A and B are shown apart, each in its own frame.
Chain A
């Protein structure tokens, strides 16, 4: 019986959307990024042929719009600023695929485009993400910003911990502005985030595995 629950859990996880961690890896690197919150669940599995590009599958199960998006996503690292004690990044994202309503309605073509910027030191993290989507009947623009602080500085291989606050704006949602306090745990190739969205009273659980 436990394997069934495990399979069901992994299947649910595989239906999970837009990613908060860096969407481009090193040349030859693979990444799995999975996000779950009250609005959607998503999975983005991508491969980076170079240190500035990645391409892969993107699946989003949107609980708000009762639709599933399945398609390809391309990410481009437009610019990186490497400094002695910090790093900044500017990304461009593009996706296209099929949108299927949960009720079995007609499949439509869908697409999205986004920009993301982040800057971090070993103590402070800030990011901003904007995304425009056209999922057939569901279209709009959303924004997300984060501020994070590391309570201690960890070395490579140690457990890294971040306390973060995420503010999101979905103009068409019942709660247009939401605030989510969250904790990020980071060790080796695995990053896990857990939080709680105050307005929606929903939990957030994200993870990224890079290999």
Chain B
């Protein structure tokens, strides 16, 4: 019986490192889905100060991960954090706070 206990303990200990090696794989598989991407069409974007204002104000929102301003297209791309959302009214408020006018929002933009 004592021999059996020793063998079981030894087997358990020998498996532990394998389990530790397996854990990173498990966490990789559990990686969260990427956040939603919004494309806002904005009026009044004519200069760097405009772009800077948008980035500062929109970028401060808890749901926002990254902001990119395209002056040529008059568009603001907003990458949201995984699991977060930002409705049109909230985005419109942020854009207005920066001094500009939101025209429309396209959602589910491909990366």
Binding site for A on B (CB under 8 A): 42-53, 56-57, 69-72, 74, 96-101, 103
Contact = CB atoms under 8 A, between A and B. Distances in A.
Counting chain B CB atoms within 10 Å of each CB, the highest count among A52, A81, A84, A153 belongs to: A84
Given A51-B97, A82-B100, A29 B53 contact: yes
Given A188-B48, A210-B49, A85 B97 contact: no
B97 A156 contact: no
Contacts of A24: 99
Interface residues of A, number: 34
A143 B111 CA distance: 50
A22 B21 CA distance: 59
B43 A210 contact: no
B67 to A, nearest CB: 11
B56 A29 contact: yes
B39 to A, nearest CB: 15
Contacts of B103: 84
A86 B46 contact: yes
Interface of A: 21-22, 24-29, 50-52, 77, 80-87, 120-122, 153, 155-157, 160, 186-189, 191, 210
16 contacts: A21-B49, A26-B99, A28-B57, A29-B53, A51-B96, A51-B97, A82-B42, A84-B103, A85-B46, A86-B46, A87-B50, A120-B47, A155-B72, A156-B51, A188-B48, A189-B52
Given A122-B46, A156-B70, A186-B47, 5 more contacts: A26-B56, A27-B98, A51-B99, A153-B72, A188-B52
Contact of B56 (A28, A77, A81): A28
B101 A22 contact: no
Nearest to A186: B48
Contact of B57 (A26, A52, A82, A84): A26
Contacts of B69: 156
Counting chain B CB atoms within 10 Å of each CB, the highest count among A28, A84, A122, A156 belongs to: A156
B61 to A, nearest CB: 13
